[in-house]
Amino acid sequence: MKRLAILGSTGSIGTQTLQVIEAHPDLFCAEVLTANRNVKLLAEQAIRFKPNMVVIAEENKYAELKEALKAEDIKVYAGKEALSQVVAAGTVDMVVTATVGYSGLLPTVNAIQAGKVIALANKETLVVAGELIHTLALRHKTPILPVDSEHSAIFQCLAGEGNNPVEKIILTASGGPFRGKDYSYLQSVTPAAALKHPNWNMGAKVTIDSASLMNKGFEVIEAKWLFGLAPQQIEVVVHPQSIIHSMVEFADGSIKAQLGVPDMRLPIQYALTYPDRIQSDFGRVDFCSCRSLTFEEPDRQTFRNLNLAYRAMLKGGNMPCILNAANEVAVEAFLQERISFTAMSDLIEECMDKGHFVAQPSLEDYIQTDREIRQEAEERVKVFKK
Ligand SMILES: NC(=O)C1=CN([C@@H]2O[C@H](COP(=O)(O)OP(=O)(O)OC[C@H]3O[C@@H](n4cnc5c(N)ncnc54)[C@H](OP(=O)(O)O)[C@@H]3O)[C@@H](O)[C@H]2O)C=CC1
Ligand SMILES: CC(=O)[C@@H](O)[C@H](O)COP(=O)(O)O
Ligand SMILES: [Mn+2]
């Protein structure tokens, strides 16, 4: 029985992880469940899945959660510190990092230091501090198993290949809801339109990142650290059907791809059962009804975030951390209709140009960079006109 800590159990990845657990109660149980502020759903999950511990990150929600679980034998904690502490509990075998944004960093660092296997959905952790996480995972011999669909695909393609040389990986991108649109169209798109992803039903932040192609930029950086690749070995191709989740091209020119219906429970389950595969009731690809699988170049001129992410990756140091912090503020401001869709890239670029660069950042440097860039970006939001 694998005992899981699910950080962000009330979100899209979190709830789907619980569905996988529910389908295989003989294999998995929830040891820790956490949320940011959604007390109602967290309490419902806790009553149903009977974890030993729950954490609500927003401390002012503690009393409400405690009251909701008063009849249960469950330890209730609150606050960001608690989030970082519960992952190290001796009863936890695997930590599923499914919180959104920078919030995933410190709990993941703690989980790695405690030697817990990581099922990593929170890609921002590797964007912000890829080098640090990579070094810590090596030092503590902690496996990091990808949950992100593209990285799970690559991981599956690499299984059994040992040290066979990889020429490149090909990350597929759906292109999002605005694929094919030009810059002037993008200037006036609404949050509601940007939240309509063509293939995936995900949390708001990653959905906006998909629409702006920042998600793909983040995934390029995530792939670099997960698979130890050089930037020129990572290619992005738009594949609007999201059936091929990514590919690996080997030195002999052979290409392996992983295919499946767009359903995150598949990569989640693979991370939970790795290296085994188990039965699932998820949908199956029907090649006769899916008439064509198509591919095209990403439009890097219109969707500038992809190039900004490559630029941050090539610069290294704390630049990807600057990219992430500026993006988090930009996405939030766009969702609140304080800035336009296209202003997000302008804001991020300005923060990258102006942010204090640190070539070899420590954890403290990342924390400080995140704090400073958020302040900087918030100030800049005020001067952007919608
Ligand atoms: N959804 C998907 O299909 C995919 C997601 N990912 C990645 O997985 C991660 C999670 O995404 P997704 O599930 O869509 O996100 P959601 O917004 O749906 O869920 C986020 C979860 O994290 C919690 N949370 C939010 N902010 C904080 C915080 N500051 N501190 C602690 N907990 C917090 C939320 O709690 P509450 O409910 O209380 O707000 C919720 O449980 C992201 O990094 C995303 O990029 C990767 C591939 C696919
Ligand atoms: C499901 C998943 O892994 C998302 O990160 C997905 O990749 C988003 O789709 P696009 O970014 O390709 O639009
Ligand atoms: Mn993805």
Mutational test site, ligand 2, from 126, 174, 264, 299, max ligand atoms within 8 Å of CB: 174
8 A C-beta contact, residue 132 and residue 363: yes
8 A C-beta contact, residue 16 and residue 148: no
Residues in the chain: 386
Q: How far is the CA of 259 from the centre of ligand 3 (A)?
A: 14
Compute the chain's Rg from CA coordinates.
20
CB atoms within 10 A of CB 275: 8
Whether ligand 1 lies within 6 angstroms of the CB of 267 is answered as: no
- Model pLDDT, residue 384: 82
Q: Has 13 been labeled as part of a binding site?
A: yes
Break the chain into its structural domains and give their ranges. 2-146, 148-262+283-302, 316-386
Mutational test site, ligand 1, from 54, 99, 122, 149, max ligand atoms within 8 Å of CB: 99
- Model pLDDT, residue 290: 81
Query: Which overall architecture, per CATH, does domain 2-146 show?
Result: 3-Layer(aba) Sandwich (3.40)
Ligand nearest to the backbone CA of 309: 2
Q: How far is the CA of 298 from the centre of ligand 3 (A)?
A: 15
Q: Has 197 been labeled as part of a binding site?
A: yes
Ligand nearest to the backbone CA of 201: 1
Whether ligand 1 lies within 6 angstroms of the CB of 319 is answered as: no
Which of 56, 113, 55, 123 is closest to 88 using CA atoms?
A: 113
Q: How far is the CA of 77 from the centre of ligand 1 (A)?
A: 19
What DSSP letter does each residue of 96-147 carry, written as one string? EE---GGGGHHHHHHHHHTT-EEEE--THHHHHHHHHHHHHHHHTT--EEE-
Q: Which residues of the chain have pLDDT under 70?
A: 385-386
- Model pLDDT, residue 189: 98
**Edge-to-edge strand ranges of the sheet holding 94-97:** 75-78, 53-56, 28-35, 2-7, 94-97, 117-120, 144-146
Q: Has 219 been labeled as part of a binding site?
A: yes
ipTM of the modeled complex:
0.99
Q: What atom of ligand 2 comes closest to residue 197's alpha carbon? A: 13
Ligand nearest to the backbone CA of 211: 2
Whether ligand 1 lies within 6 angstroms of the CB of 38 is answered as: yes
Which of 180, 362, 184, 169 is closest to 258 using CA atoms?
A: 169
Q: Vertex 271, ends 328 and 154: CA angle to 5°?
A: 75
What DSSP letter does each residue of 310-364 carry, written as one string? HHHHHH-TTHHHHHHHHHHHHHHHHHTTSS-TTHHHHHHHHHHHHSPP-SS--HH
Q: How far is the CA of 140 from the centre of ligand 1 (A)?
A: 26
- Model pLDDT, residue 386: 61
Q: What atom of ligand 2 comes closest to residue 211's alpha carbon? A: 13
Whether ligand 2 lies within 6 angstroms of the CB of 174 is answered as: yes
The DSSP bridge pattern shows strands 244-250 and 166-173 to be: antiparallel
Whether ligand 1 lies within 6 angstroms of the CB of 212 is answered as: no
Whether ligand 2 lies within 6 angstroms of the CB of 212 is answered as: no
Nearest CA to ligand 2 atom 5: 148
- Model pLDDT, residue 93: 98
* Fold designation for 316-386: Rna Polymerase Sigma Factor; Chain: A (1.10.1740)
Helix (H) or strand (E) holding 53: strand 53-56
- Within 8 A by CB and 6+ apart from 258, the residues are 152, 153, 154, 156, 157, 244, 245, 246, 247
* pTM as predicted: 0.98
Nearest CA to ligand 2 atom 1: 149
Nearest CA to ligand 1 atom 31: 36
Q: How far is the CA of 300 from the centre of ligand 1 (A)?
A: 27
